[in-house]
A = this chain, B = another copy of it.
């Protein structure tokens, strides 16, 4: 077992909820019963009291500072995960009006988002990579976005298939670009000015399940139809600083600590990106060095830095791989039930030693079984 994990901890390649920084878990543990100076657990404190409000603002400020987010944007902490965003986005932006929302579908999550959007208004799928088994993302020449669309929507990283946009898809000026960044938020620098709205559930790169980060340009707050459910109305959350109702206080506290770990311990998003690229390279190099044995799912130029997906020559070998990996403290490697194979999720908090251990195991396993 590597010295970077604690005695009993394994390298956890779960696709989400997923590995968190050990130093964050240690801090949460230390402060769990008595938040410093508060005489109570953070979980027991009113969300409107100064102690929690400071925690909330600190988490917002740290995310703002990591991305360099301007005052043109709100940073909201909501509940309901990406699944509720699939509905909230079209409910706020196309319900009750004549505009069309345009979608790029590059995997399972984009497909689900389209299903929910169709319930709210006019939707057009500009590109769907289904026929390739969702192994790539489109180039700018592959689709034609309209100048007058309500928005252009995409998912920057598809966790199930392991395909990722290397940069933002092209989007007409004046059309809000909307991104589901649930599985690669905070994994690399982004120019937020390019987005109308970018959101992510926390449980992959940003913290525990139960909080969703929504970064929304302020002009988009004014499009919600009358009579939209209060919780679904972004403006309510923005006007009340994410306290329109009681927010998930523990999850926000943990999210703030993860953001601080990124800023202070890792050194920011550029440093994080370099680390993530090193981890991904270790695993993809092992796939490529054993290309007769391992078959990567994603096209090479669209490979995800977060979820490395590949298959083995047979189900028998696949099961043997998972079983033997577990004896090396390499856990949660089974691919999603919808596509099978192996999926190694190497989010921000996966230490480089985890990727090294897995890459070595992959090479050894291929040598013995190839």
Contact = CB atoms under 8 A, between A and B. Distances in A.
A83 B230 contact: yes
Interface residues of A, number: 66
B230 A116 contact: yes
A40 interface: yes
B20 A34 contact: no
A14 B25 CA distance: 26
Contacts of A9: 33-34, 39-40
Contacts of A279: none
Contact of A248 (B16, B44, B244, B248): B248
Contacts of A227: 119
Contact of A43 (B49, B80, B83, B209): B209
Interface of A is mostly: loop
Given A6-B34, A8-B34, A33-B6, A20 B43 contact: yes
Interface string A103-129: 000000000000110011000000000
Contact of A45 (B6, B14, B87): B14
Nearest to A230: B116
A224 to B, nearest CB: 12
Contacts of A79: 79-81, 84, 210, 248
Contacts of A203: 246, 249
Interface of A: 6, 8-10, 12, 14-20, 22, 25-26, 28-29, 32-34, 39-41, 43-47, 49, 79-84, 86-87, 91, 115-116, 119-120, 201, 203, 208-211, 227-232, 244-251, 254, 329, 331-332
